[in-house]
Amino acid sequence: MGIRTLVAMLVTALVVIGALATQESYKVFMPGLLQGAVLTIEIAILGSLLAIVMGVLAALARMYGPAPLRWLATVYVEIFRGTSALVQLFWLFFVLPQFGVTLNAFLVAVLALGLNVGAYGSEVVRGAIQSVPRGQWEACTALNMSRPQMLRRIILPQAFVAMIPPWGNLFIELLKSTALVSLITLSDLAFKAQQMNQNTFKTIPIFTLVLLMYLAMSLVVTIGMRLLERRASLGLARGKAA
Amino acid sequence: MIWDWAFAFEILPVLASAAIVSIEATLIGFALAASLGLVLAVVRIAVPWTGWTISVLVELIRSTPLLIQIFFLYFVFPKFGVVLDAFTAGVLAIGIHYAAYCSEVYRAGFDNIHRGQWEASVALNLSAWTTFRDIIIPQAIPPIVPALGNYLVALFKETPLLSAIAVLELMQTAKIIGSETFRYTEPMTLVGLFFLAMSLVSAALIRSLEGLLNRRTMR
């Protein structure tokens, strides 16, 4: 879908939220829902940062690490991709305390979502690094660059562009997964919706607003990643021409 | 002691019967997703003016969390007089959510069909229905089977969400065992291992299926 359509959808979503918020039956829910949305955004941002760190580390460990590190990274990726996010969230929340490690719910949420998406992200990073043409590696070797040097200066800047669209999808997945944290007592957007629904039974206004808010947040991420992609590939094209 | 084998074996039969509910939900949900997705993709080609509407619809479904969609079907539909039990509402939500993803997969499959195939069908005076059924679909589906398989696994991993509306599937059963006995280690870990095992097995199956299909289409 083109970036113009996406922007149009975002504007429409925001206008509809704004228009609904002026109505009495919707207005009462706005402060609570916005409060929840802030927590959702916090978890999504911190989770994404952790996912990026884990994705890059796991990918580099699997590709260039010594054998034990490589196995560790593989086990991490397989476990977090092979079980569902909710299972991981519950495991960290309910089981970890039995081993004497008690984390607060917020930390569990960021850890579970970040580690989960990071495992998928490591495959993205690996794929992107491998998609850099062989000639680039050979040229680096010919120029007698060390491995960290070639990764940092030649390979990763090129792989970065290929990574942007799949990472965009993963960020959306992570944002949507934050709704799961409502099930471990965090009062995010989904939790607020559930709570207000149980107290007031005004199901339609509450869930309509919540869906629109999630839509708006996802669209912001999608549009942001599109713009980033455009900028990053512009830089690459210039580099090639010169 | 942190891990109690006797307790683990005691709860295994209960979890196994709950796993059947999870698998049922997966199969029904995926059947729904695969067929509804195909309908969306075909309508998009057959009735061109729906293209924009379907794009927006797909984007809407893919941009909002499945959990909220499950709540929406479960809590909002009764307001319109459609009361669904938890399992039906949950499976319906999962099916519709993944139909949006599947329709994009089908679309990629259709886009890969050479133009000449459509033109030849027109030249042979085949009806639109016959063209789809006998010419396009048999060529479009095999290459996308692995992609659909990946969504089957992804869908399977989303079924624990049904526990949020109290469907007695694997996760909900593990939670109930945990809250009754105050032992979460065994049920949660067993659920995790079950998902891990199923995912690894299905990933291997998809890979071999992919090999098989590649051999068949690369004649």
Cα gap A89→A87, rounded to integer Å: 5
Chain A: residue whose CA lies nearest to B172? A87
Do the chains contact at B188 and A207, CB–CB below 8 Å?
A: no
- Inter-chain Cβ pairs, chain A and chain B, closer than 8 A: 109
CA atoms within 13 A on the CB side of A103: 18
What would the pLDDT profile of A197-236 be if each residue is shown by its tens digit?
Answer: 999 888 899 999 999 999 999 999 999 999 998 888 876 6
Q: Is residue B197 a part of any domain in this protein?
A: no
Cα gap A213→A200, rounded to integer Å: 20
Q: Maximum distance among all alpha carbons in chain A?
A: 70
pLDDT for A1: 78
Domain ranges of chain A: 36-230
Containing B190, the helix (H) or strand (E) segment is helix B185-217
Rg of the Cα atoms in chain B: 21
Count Cβ atoms within 10 A of the Cβ of residue A78 and give its class: 0-12 exposed, 13-18 middle, 19 or more buried: middle
pLDDT for B213: 78
Q: Is residue B8 a part of any domain in this protein?
A: no
In this complex, the residue of B159, B175, B192 whose CB is nearest that of residue A83 is B192
Q: Is residue B131 a part of any domain in this protein?
A: yes
Which CATH number is B66's domain given? 1.10.3720.10
Is B90 in the A-facing interface, judged by CB distances under 8 Å? no
Classify A191 as helix, strand or coil.
helix
> A14 pLDDT exceeds 80?
yes
Which residue ranges in chain B fall short of pLDDT 70?
1, 216-219
Cα gap A76→A87, rounded to integer Å: 15
Residue A238: band (very low, low, confident or very high) from pLDDT cuts 50, 70, 90: very low
For residue B86, the enclosing domain spans 20-169
In this complex, the residue of B62, B189, B200 whose CB is nearest that of residue A82 is B200
How distant is the Cα of B66 from the closest Cα of chain A, in angstroms?
7
What would the pLDDT profile of A141-193 be if each residue is shown by its tens digit?
Answer: 999 999 889 988 999 888 998 899 999 999 999 999 999 999 998 999 999 99
A36-230: CATH topology is MetI-like fold (1.10.3720)
Is B165 in the A-facing interface, judged by CB distances under 8 Å? no
- Which chain B residues are within 8 Å of A180, Cβ to Cβ? 67, 161
How distant is the Cα of A236 from the closest Cα of chain B, in angstroms?
28
Do the chains contact at A95 and B65, CB–CB below 8 Å?
A: no
Is B191 in the A-facing interface, judged by CB distances under 8 Å? yes
pLDDT for A241: 41
CA atoms within 13 A on the CB side of B59: 25
Tokens standing for residue A202:
């005004």
- For A45, B9, B66, B174, B203, the CA distances from A204, given in Å and listed in that order, are 29, 45, 17, 32, 40
Q: Is residue B186 a part of any domain in this protein?
A: no
What would the pLDDT profile of A44-66 be if each residue is shown by its tens digit?
Answer: 999 999 999 999 999 999 998 89
Number of separate domains in chain B: 1
Q: Is residue B30 a part of any domain in this protein?
A: yes
- For A117, A121, A156, A165, the CA distances from A169, given in Å and listed in that order, are 10, 10, 20, 7
Is B70 in the A-facing interface, judged by CB distances under 8 Å? no
Cα gap A114→A45, rounded to integer Å: 10
Q: Is residue B84 a part of any domain in this protein?
A: yes
